[in-house]
Amino acid sequence: MIGVFTLIILIVIIYALSYYLYKNYFYFPPIEHEQLKNKRVIITGASRGIGEQLAYEYSRYNCRLILAARSIDVLKNKIAINCRNFGATQVECIEFDASKEQACIELIEKTVEYYQGIDILVLNHTASVYAPFFQDDIPTNITNMKKLMDTNFFGYFQTTMSALPHLSESGTDKQPSQIIAISSLAG
């Protein structure tokens, strides 16, 4: 009998501790519509996948979007139209190759030109190379790794560094600006 009572007490303690940790460290309250309304959001890699879905989600909150990807036709002819239908107040599309340092700088400059600032930066671009890592052809292997690093590391870094002054200007204590970096094992 004492064993069952002890087990019940232990379960209650574990539940209470789990609830406390969840509420204080892992629970993010739902975002209020007004918190995101008219926010200036850059989404890289917005032509498909997670980037496309994020563009639609931010549109539902009436954000002003900059959609950036290599596939400019897809952005203009599909994604931007859908974003406007979902409620985005403004949508601009920019052709963007994150492996090019100048493209990262220009993305931020154009955003500031269009919207006079940045509130949220979503870094979602990736490059993948599907090839054996250990190849006899060393120059090809180095070229592949350089492409991956230029896009998946330096592209994130350069875009973030270019955006930081504008993000710090737009953030407040109650509404800080945000940088969201999305990656995967493939990129």
Q: Answer whether residue 147 shows pLDDT above 60.
A: yes
Q: Write down the pLDDT at residue 2.
A: 65
Q: Select the highest-mean-pLDDT range: 8-17, 48-57, 133-142.
A: 48-57
Note whether 105 and 81 are within 8 A (CB): no
Give pTM, 2 decimals.
0.80
Note whether 38 and 62 are within 8 A (CB): yes
Q: Does domain 36-181 have CATH number 3.40.50.720?
A: yes
Q: Answer whether residue 1 shows pLDDT above 60.
A: no
Phi, psi dihedral angles at 156 (to 5 degrees):
-65, -45
Q: Answer whether residue 187 shows pLDDT above 60.
A: no
Distance CA 18, CA 182 (A): 28
With residue 69 as reference, give the H or E element that holds it. strand 64-69
List pLDDT tens digits, range 74-128.
Answer: 999 999 999 999 999 999 999 999 999 999 999 999 999 999 999 999 999 988 8
